[in-house]
Chain A
Amino acid sequence: MISKQYILVFTTLAFCFFFGCTVYGQNDNVLRYKAPNDNFMDLVIQSYQGLPRYGELYYRRGVTTPKTNKAYTALLELKFMKEIFADLNRSKLDMYNRSSEQAAINSATLQRHLLNLAGYVFSEEVLKEHFCDPNARVVKKPMGGRPVNCQFTNSAGERNGLGYWGGSVSNEFRQLRSYKYFLENFLEPLQNWADSFYQGGNTVAYNVSRTYIAEKYDFKNKGYWISLKVDGMGSMAPHAEFLAYTEGEKLLKGSGSNKVLLPIPPEKAKSYGLRERMSIFLVNKVNVLPKLKTSGKPYVRFEYELEGNSMEIYKDIQLTEKIGELNINELVTKY
């Protein structure tokens, strides 16, 4: 199983080496961002038509290329947290204490974020060296999983978040050593790497949302009535918001219980094999504008606006079978 994956990665890497591209695979479009050095892993996220794909993603273990979404998002968040870095306490760890002061809250949030980022983005070797305490008591996982030590990936091959600096629950000296080593050696390269993304403070991407066919085929209007609800960015970013300006965009956001007509000629509808309640996927080109929210516990909110008026509708999450296209400004609705 493992060797098979290696072969896949190897072949795709070779492909990219020869053709100098970032997109590879037939059903498996990804973007690969090369790490600045060996201490970090390359970032791999799914793509659609050469741009990052956010929202609903296609994942099947052993079939799709493993992604590093968490690392990608955490690195972006690092970029947009720059404003509060002045508050970072570089001499000691605040993150295990509670405070009501904004600067201390900022510092604790940053330290927690850096630790998460470290867990997602560092190579296995660096993690073993700086985030693993071989002598530590084995910690039982909260969800009753297998007690493990120095294991950084879950059973699906995705990185877990780290719990403690230095990989140690109780050794505060080890924790601080790990933290300081990180600040000295890794923070700057990570910040530089983060700055290479979202140049200009934004990026254009595709956001995929899952919705469903609301009713049986409508022979009078020649199409399906579909439900709309575009908001958030799925697992890509925990805090995301679709900014809807116009009537059509507000409909898309789906605050009401409106249904929208997706015109499909009857003979095509039959061949698509669509049914009531079936999931379908909306693809919107969006302009993503992350904003740092600074009051209280700071966080980065990924706000996005539509880029253009056109929306594609696919039957499958792989986005291979297109069943229609709608203009956001000319939606036909019914209640």
Chain B
Amino acid sequence: MKYLKNFCTCVVGSLVSVVAVAQQLSEVIYESPSEEFINLSLQTYNNKLRFGMQHNYYVNTDGSFVDNSGEAYATAEKRTSHNVLSRHAFIELLKIRFQEEIFSVMDRNLLTKRTQNMYDKELKSYTAQQQVLTLANTLSTKTQKRKFFCNDKQEDCASKFPENGYYSIPRDVLGWAGRGASEFQQLRAYRAFVKERFPAIQQWGNELHKENSIEGYFVGRIRLGEYDFENEGYWLNLDAFQNTDFLLRWSYFQPSNTAERILASPKGCQILLKLSPEEAEKLAENHQFLLMGFSVVVSLKGIENYRSNQLKTLFSLTSSKIQIFKDDGLTQKVSEIDINSMITKTRY
């Protein structure tokens, strides 16, 4: 309860509430503006959104894996599917404010056909319609999907979109009106969605972190290299983070002072994690990876061009302390390094 209170003071004004879940993994719920859309559930650390490497739901707090035949496994699967879709939806929503260029010329009446050579306006309209399709697929609840993405003349809509707690996979983008739908059905579905649902999504997207900056916590996973006996520690190679792609990558980091410039060195910064040989041996026996966490503020930089349609983000540090953990859940801290007193070298 205390946690809940703390959190609410932090994120005043956002459409959020929070659930503290088991295993000390905390998530924040971004409530959808209407019941036609799904709520988003994103991972947090210390009440801040967690970017980069995400927590794996299949791992228990003690480091063991969830039994793959039990109830817990199904729960982990469901939560993973919700998290994956939520992250995707979050980014698609953040893009909306930068997409005025394409939405303003989008044909709301007819579907723009893709051809070999398209004029700029047609290409923008086509891109916008694809974006609407993606948003519709991502954000619609199962009930809505039955309406917009199911052809009940050919399919059993109840079994195609069962209410089983699983969320769809972002990659699976279904076409309007379902399998085998005629062009009349497709157009009806598209027009209806654009008219009835899309304005609410657009508004949701525009209001989400509308100041274009988000406080968060960037997590990078790093392989534990070889112990350095001379310097008594492990060298942590900052530009070799693995699987760090929720919203941020290490290369998006913008240094603002000398110490931060060392971290961002284009020659590849390595930080020494001091550990005695005894501690190191114990660590290496059970862990192949370490997780590094940075308190950051993300700035949304827009979409560089509508053809690639990618959201551009940069981030800077809000604290000079880097936390180092043993586990995905960021519960077991190994050390904390201050960048003003760290020992570094470059890779070349």
Q: Which of B8-16, B32-40, B259-267, B324-332 lines the interface with chain A?
A: B259-267
A320-335 residues at the B interface, CB under 8 angstroms: 333-335
Chain A contributes a number of interface residues (CB within 8 A of B) equal to 10
Flag if B261 contacts A245 (CB, 8 Å).
yes
B254 and A246: CB pair below 8 A? yes
B314 close to chain A: CB less than 8 A: yes
Q: What residues of B have a CB within 8 angstroms of the CB of A334 in the complex? A: 304-305
> Does any Cβ of A come within 8 Å of B255's Cβ?
yes
B221: shortest Cβ distance to chain A, in Å?
Answer: 23
Q: Does A16 sit at the interface, judged by CB under 8 A?
A: no
B308 lies within 8 A of A245 (CB): no
Asked if residues B304 and A335 are in contact (CB atoms below 8 Å), the reply is yes
| Residue A243 is within 8 A (CB to CB) of chain B in the complex | yes
Closest to B263 in A: A245
Q: What residues on A are CB-neighbors of B114 within 8 Å?
A: none
> Do A243 and B266 touch (CB < 8 A)?
yes
CB of B153 within 8 Å of the partner chain: no
Contact with A along B241-265 (1 / 0, CB 8 A): 0000000000010110000010011
Chain B stretch 307-322: residues in CB contact (< 8 A) with chain A: 307-308, 314
Most buried by B among A244, A245, A247, A335: A245
B261: chain A residues within 8 A (beta carbon): 245
Tell whether, in the assembled complex, residue B266 and residue A244 are in contact, meaning their CB atoms are under 8 Å apart.
yes
**Separation in Å of the B315 CB from the closest CB of chain A?**
11
Specify the chain B residue showing the minimal Cβ separation from A244. Answer: B266
Residues on A with C-beta less than 8 A from B307 are: 335
With beta carbons under 8 angstroms apart, the residue of B252, B266, B304 that contacts A245 is B266
Partner of B314 from the list A245, A247, A258 (CB cut-off 8 Å) is A247
How far, in whole Å, are A293 and B346 apart by their CA atoms in the complex? 13
Q: Which residue of A lies closest to B306 (CB)?
A: A335
Q: How far is the CB of B253 from chain A (nearest CB, A)?
A: 9
Q: Are B305 and A246 in contact (CB under 8 A)?
A: no
Interface residues of B (CB under 8 A from A): 252, 254-255, 261, 264-267, 304-305, 307-308, 314, 348
A-B contact pairs, 5 of them (CB 8 A): A243-B266, A247-B252, A334-B304, A335-B304, A335-B308
A interface with B by C-beta (< 8 Å): 243-247, 258, 293, 333-335
